[in-house]
Amino acid sequence: MATSTVLGVLEGLLELPVHPVFVHFPIAMLTVTWGLVVVHYWSGSAAVDRLVAPFEWIGVGFLPVVILTGFRDAEWLEFILEVEWDQPLIWHFIVSLTASVVFAVHVFWRWRRRTDGEGRWVDLGLTTAGFWLLVVTGLIAGEMVYG
Ligand code: HEM
């Protein structure tokens, strides 16, 4: 009796969504990344500039976990194999992957290139695009969860 109750509870826990546990961490880190890039160009502070990389690497490092748990909660590939364009999930998937690619490209670009001169527009452009794509990802998620 006790064993079956414990197994039942464990089974119930495994069925819970796991994606929401992880999503907020990269959203926070990458939002701070964008804020730091903006403040760096506004203030010219080298100290602020040095903070960008740690925040962005941690944020980007968490994205594979977020994407993997998203697929798990979406029951893997069914929503792609039987795509319904009027459902928010497919748009959440497309916009979130685009945001992830933008930040991944940016973090490697910043690592390899100088950010002064013309580079500042790439720096500001990619992080601004990535941030707003994350906002749209969250808005679509809101429609999925609460809509
Ligand atoms: C940058 C990547 C992503 C971010 C930032 C993100 C963000 C979010 C957020 C904020 C929510 C609402 C969570 C809540 O209830 O509080 C959510 C829900 C959800 N997302 Fe994502 N998401 C991402 C990628 C994906 C991907 C790639 C998939 C599917 C392939 C996916 C599938 C889902 C599903 C199914 C939900 C509904 C709640 C659940 O059962 O997990 N997400 N997402």
Determine, yes or no, domain membership for 103. yes
Per residue in 18-72, pLDDT tens? 999 999 999 999 999 999 999 999 999 999 999 999 999 999 999 999 999 999 9
Which pLDDT does position 114 carry in this prediction? 66
8 occurs within a structural domain: no
- Burial letters for 27-48: b for 16+ Cβ neighbours within 10 Å, e otherwise? bebbbbbbbbbbebbeeeeeeb
pTM: 0.94
Nearest-angstrom CA–CA distance, 83 and 60 = 27
Q: 71: Cβ below 6 Å to ligand 1?
A: yes
State which residues form the domain around 65. 18-146
3-state SS class at 85: coil
In a domain, 9, yes or no: no
Residue 86 lies in a domain: yes
Confirm or reject: Cβ of 7 under 6 Å from ligand 1. Answer: no
Ligand 1 nearest atom to the CA of residue 19, by list position: 41
Kindly state whether residue 60 falls inside one of the protein's structural domains.
yes
Q: Whose CA is nearest to atom 11 of ligand 1?
A: 141
Nearest CA to ligand 1 atom 42: 70
If one counts the domains in the chain, the total is: 1
Q: Is residue 128 part of a domain?
A: yes
Read off the DSSP letter of residue 75.
T
